[in-house]
Amino acid sequence: QVQLVESGGGLVQAGGSLRVSCAASGRTSSPYATYAMAWFRQAPGKEREFVAGISWSGSFTGYADSVKGRFTISRDRAKNTLYLQMNSLKPEDTALYYCAARYGSNWYGSGDKYDSWGQGTQVTVSS
């Protein structure tokens, strides 16, 4: 299994930017350990929702409509690190942001497809 640790969350004003990271460890170096990754978020009183996903190669990405054009997902396989660059932040982006990993090349928008989860990093956007 892959262990995931998020970092980089914080408090930012609306319109600002923030980058969160997710460091992966464990079964990341095996030649058979191809894994796609994604970001999800959960706001208080709401269900967890998909934010962005990226393939093992990094060539294929996808975004929720609510963040498309504002957020960018990327990964550095040499560093086993996933990133989410968030620009033009809105108060409704406030949530606990989780990274997730699944063995396989392709990302999915459904959380039940993922094998490993981090503990989350809080992002708060003030108006």
Contact, 89 vs 17, CB < 8 A?
A: yes
Note the Cα 52 to chain centre separation in Å: 6
Query: How confident is residue 29, by pLDDT bands cut at 50, 70 and 90?
Result: low
91 — phi, psi (to 5°)? -55, -30
Query: How confident is residue 58, by pLDDT bands cut at 50, 70 and 90?
Result: very high
Cα–Cα nearest to 41, from 79, 86, 75: 86
- What's the rounded Cα separation, in Å, for the pair 37 and 35? 7
